[in-house]
Structure 1
Amino acid sequence: MKVKALARPQSTTSRSSLHDLRPTHKNLNPQSHPQARAREYTRAVTAAKLDRMFASPFVGELKGGHVDAVSSLAICRTNLCPVVTGAVDGTVRIWDLQNRRMVASLDGAHSRNVSGIVFGNGIDGQFYSCGEEGIIKAWSIYPKGQYITADVDDEDKKPRARKGNLKSSQDDDAESPHGPLNVYRLPSARNSSFANAFHSIDHHWSESQFATASSDAAVHLWDPERSTPITSFNNLWGSDDTVTTVRYNPAERDLIAHCSSDRGIGLHDTRTASALQKTIMGMKSNCLEWNPMEPYMFVVGNEDYNAYTFDMRKLSRPTTIFKGHVGAVMSVGWSPTGTEFVTGSYDKTIRIFSTRKEGGTASHGGYGSNGTARDIYHTKRMQRIFCVGYTLDHKYILSGSDDTNIRMWKARSSEKIGQLSAREESSLQYRQALVQKYAHLPEVKRIHKARRVPKFIKKETEQAMVQKEKRR
């Protein structure tokens, strides 16, 4: 009797090493798996539960903090590690994110509140701070004698950084070597103290130039080599209210946006020194940031508890209204990818809003969000938040609050810190795809969107909903 035996190569049935997985054979015929959809739904529910189970967004605080409330924060545009913060007592501190420690404390940098800090666009580590006493100062994050040295590449003729590690000024015997490198003041304020307070400062993305917003109802453009402004926008549509925020457009080199106390948001062209457009909001806007990837879009945080995204080509109405806070939005910050932004509010919470739909697709204009927060962060000790920002690697969020602390958070609350293996990354992507696929189903939606929020925020939210229903 002749018997036919199945013979398979040994490589398809055995492991090559003890650390490999055993080969498995699957029947891909859908008729052989009638319960496939049910099993996949069960996995989606499990994936949503695991995502919330491993959610631990708080990483830690920068050691030392400030003595007074943190009022301003700047993240370097060319380096991952340096961060500079300013406090209400006029102190400026330099931080190293890699070690989460303070590099230097510039006590007495300003005599009043440090209202704005910004890094330059070079690799020399220079940054600028402005205070409400009407003075701008230039500093360096590197101690004297420890500046970044730059070599010139023969191929592209561009400077190349050779040394970039921060060194603590406490290691040097000399007194504070960080500056100030230069001091700037408005001509009208040289003989009168606190005459023209600065409320915001921003540096050009490609040129050696910075802009300030002041209480004299003007936007001033400065050259670091000059002690007086090179251009001033004094006629802001006839308004004499304080300009609170100013920001350069990352792509249009001659475009500036500003917010003022008269509830206005305006655009300026620096070539013609003329105003382009202006829109009036219902309440005052506290902050403004341009989208780094879609530079025709910007977001503003308002006193009415909402954040608004605008298209600069049509300022008559916002593209999306982002709701959820129960206090004034004090600060906003875009992620480097331009797909989401973070807000810090007077209600002591941080919220992350995505500008994309749940499935990752975009609607007309690239903004398809329903206006609700993707995530909300809070702690028992954290007080009112005045400044927030993303790190350049899109992994972490920094926040400065009224309780003198600078905190570091994960951008994705359940994300693992460190390198993932190939199996971990594949499993994570599979679980995320399952949650997105079944996010519309009640059980997955309930688990995926469940968040613990403070009791007073729940009460304020319920009260706001009741008031909204009564107005109808």
Structure 2
Amino acid sequence: MKVKVLCRNPDDYLRETKRDLYKVPRNYDPNLHPFEAPREYIRALNAVKLERVFAKPFIGNLEGHKEGVSCIVKHPARLSSVASGSYDGEVRIWDLPQQACIHSFQAHDGFLRGITFHSDGQKLITVGDDKTIKMWPSNAPKLGADVEPLNTILSRTVLMGVSHNYRKDVFATCGELCQIWEHSRNEPIHSYQWGVDSLHTIAFNPVESDLLVTCASDRSIILYDTRDTGPMRKLVMTLRTNQISWNPMEPFVFTTANEDYNLYSFDMRKLNAPFQVHCDHTSAVITVDYSPTGKEFVSGSYDKSIRIFEAAKGHSRDIYHTKRMQRLTSVAWSLDNKYILSGSDEMNIRIWKARASEKLGVLRPREKAAFNYNESLKAKFAAHPHIRRIAHHRQVPKHIYNAQKEHRIIKEKQKKKEARRRAHSKPGSVPFISEKKKHIVKEQE
């Protein structure tokens, strides 16, 4: 028979003399350390400081274009390849690990408006100001051989953009009309119009491959279904939308880059208001692209900066800029979720890390364990004022800093004016309008 009893040894808690120190019972389990929270706080503080010390996102740049970069497109099957087009109609295929141009060719006379890969990556489709659609081989030609288009289609209307279906041999162009084309035909199989002068950007949904969206010159966003005979829905905003990107993991969500310095994330099932407004840019947002995980996206603006946003948050988590980088025209997030490409009008394509302080290359098991531990510590103490201040602080150019201060003053004055009008008006005559609904004019079906 086993009997358990409590036993207390007086030597563990009694002093031998009056001058002796009090003995404190102590559990040596590291999880029950008496200073566990202060110790972890200091570790979190050191981790967030080291993150800012090692935050060097710029990797390199791709030189060679003789005019500004108008568009960048990722290869759907190869991580190491991207294609870019410029204002003078030249197309270049790049090898990213070598940071070198594989081959280049003159695709159009004048501005190259749009470029996209075939879904299998074997062909490249371009549109330009010369009213032609051209298909090119995406692989480099033999040494000394000229690059000739596989097919050339003459269009009756101006072309401003192109997007390829992710599953079918079908692509769409926009301009005066939204047109759907097959590779085997030189005439469009569908044409859509909804009373607007021109459409300047177009994008197929990566999951629901029959859906596509366009942006029009009348500040509207139009949804189409290629199985239908006409456009589905139309949303008019207060200012023009420059580009649209679909969320690759949530096919009903898309994000728009707008002229009013903001980005708007919409659920296409409920278009009467965006479910998130993404602020922080200080000039018109030109381009946007989602990460392959769908949790983040990158935007480029006329304020000469790139910002990275978390899809569910209204403010950017990081900003990238250099002294020589000018106005952004296109951005792309690599399919391995590690790099960001940006093209600007001073003829360079820059390569950035998606996470500024991330170590490139293979991580040893101890490094990976330490990195995961530091990430959990930063998440645990993220709300602490000192750690939050260090994690959020970014050094920005002087023109962005001054513009941010000016916009803050303008917004505060607008809020004060609205509050005073409401206080001195008849109750209910000046209603409260949320920031999400302020920028929507109307919705049509």
TM over 0.5: yes
Aligned to 2:396: 453
User: Which secondary structure state, in structure 1, belongs to the residue aligned with residue 363 of structure 2?
Assistant: coil
Matched, 1:120 2:118: yes
Matched, 1:384 2:327: yes
Distance 1:288 1:185 in 2: 26
Alpha carbons 2:196, 2:217 under 8 Å: kept: no
Q: How many Å apart are 1:29 and its aligned residue?
A: 6.2
Distance 1:376 1:223 in 2: 40
Aligned equivalent of 1:201, options 151, 162, 171: 162
Alpha carbons 2:326, 2:346 under 8 Å: kept: yes
Aligned equivalent of 1:267, options 217, 220, 223: 223
Question: After the TM superposition, which residues 81-120 of structure 1 pair with which residues of structure 2 at under 5 Å, given as runs?
Answer: 81-107=80-106, 109-120=107-118
- For structure 1, the 5+ residue unaligned runs are 1-25, 145-168, 190-195, 356-366
Aligned to 2:441: none
Aligned equivalent of 2:150, options 181, 185, 195: 181
User: Which secondary structure state, in structure 2, belongs to the residue aligned with residue 257 of structure 1?
Assistant: strand
In structure 2, relative to structure 1, the CA distance for the partners of 1:390 and 1:29 (3 Å cut) is: closer
User: Which secondary structure state, in structure 2, belongs to the residue aligned with residue 93 of structure 1?
Assistant: strand
In structure 2, relative to structure 1, the CA distance for the partners of 1:30 and 1:406 (3 Å cut) is: closer
Q: How many Å apart are 1:173 and its aligned residue?
A: 2.4
Distance 1:253 1:385 in 2: 29
Alpha carbons 2:127, 2:160 under 8 Å: kept: yes
Distance 2:386 2:392 in 1: 10
Alpha carbons 1:72, 1:86 under 8 Å: kept: yes
Aligned to 1:327: 283
Aligned residues: 389
User: Which secondary structure state, in structure 2, belongs to the residue aligned with residue 77 of structure 1?
Assistant: coil
Q: How many Å apart are 1:197 and its aligned residue?
A: 2.2
Q: Structure 1: which amino acid aligns with 2:165?
A: H
Distance 1:65 1:300 in 2: 30
Q: Structure 2: which amino acid aligns with 1:133?
A: D
Distance 1:112 1:204 in 2: 26
Alpha carbons 1:305, 1:328 under 8 Å: kept: yes
Aligned to 2:45: 45
Matched, 1:298 2:254: yes
User: Which secondary structure state, in structure 2, belongs to the residue aligned with residue 80 of structure 1?
Assistant: coil
Q: How many Å apart are 1:225 and its aligned residue?
A: 1.2
Aligned to 1:468: 411
Taking structure 2 as the reference length, the TM-score comes to: 0.86
Q: How many Å apart are 1:300 and its aligned residue?
A: 0.5
Tell me the alpha carbon deviations over residues 29-57 of structure 1, each in whole angstroms, 9 at most, x when there is no partner: 655x2111001011111000000000000
Matched, 1:229 2:188: yes
Distance 1:275 1:28 in 2: 66
In structure 2, relative to structure 1, the CA distance for the partners of 1:437 and 1:29 (3 Å cut) is: closer
Alpha carbons 2:123, 2:137 under 8 Å: kept: yes
Alpha carbons 1:299, 1:307 under 8 Å: kept: yes
User: Which secondary structure state, in structure 1, belongs to the residue aligned with residue 71 of structure 2?
Assistant: strand
Tell me the alpha carbon deviations over residues 401-428 of structure 1, each in whole angstroms, 9 at most, x when there is no partner: 0110000000000001101000001101
Q: How many Å apart are 1:143 and its aligned residue?
A: 3.3
Matched, 1:67 2:10: no
Identical positions, percent: 43
User: Which secondary structure state, in structure 2, belongs to the residue aligned with residue 430 of structure 1?
Assistant: helix
Q: Structure 1: which amino acid aligns with 2:250?
A: E
Q: How many Å apart are 1:27 and its aligned residue?
A: 3.4
Aligned to 2:337: 394
User: Which secondary structure state, in structure 1, belongs to the residue aligned with residue 239 of structure 2?
Assistant: coil
Distance 2:160 2:29 in 1: 64
Tell me the alpha carbon deviations over residues 175-194 of structure 1, each in whole angstroms, 9 at most, x when there is no partner: x23x31111122xx3xxxxx
Matched, 1:287 2:243: yes
Tell me the alpha carbon deviations over residues 239-264 of structure 1, each in whole angstroms, 9 at most, x when there is no partner: 22210111111122221111111110
Taking structure 1 as the reference length, the TM-score comes to: 0.81
Aligned to 1:27: 28
Which structure has the larger Rg over C-alpha atoms? Answer: 2
Distance 1:313 1:382 in 2: 38
Question: After the TM superposition, which residues 153-168 of structure 1 pair with which residues of structure 2 at under 5 Å, given as runs?
Answer: none
Tell me the alpha carbon deviations over residues 314-354 of structure 1, each in whole angstroms, 9 at most, x when there is no partner: 11100100011111111100000000000011110000001
Q: How many Å apart are 1:65 and its aligned residue?
A: 2.9
Alpha carbons 2:202, 2:212 under 8 Å: kept: yes
Aligned to 1:154: none
In structure 2, relative to structure 1, the CA distance for the partners of 1:341 and 1:29 (3 Å cut) is: closer
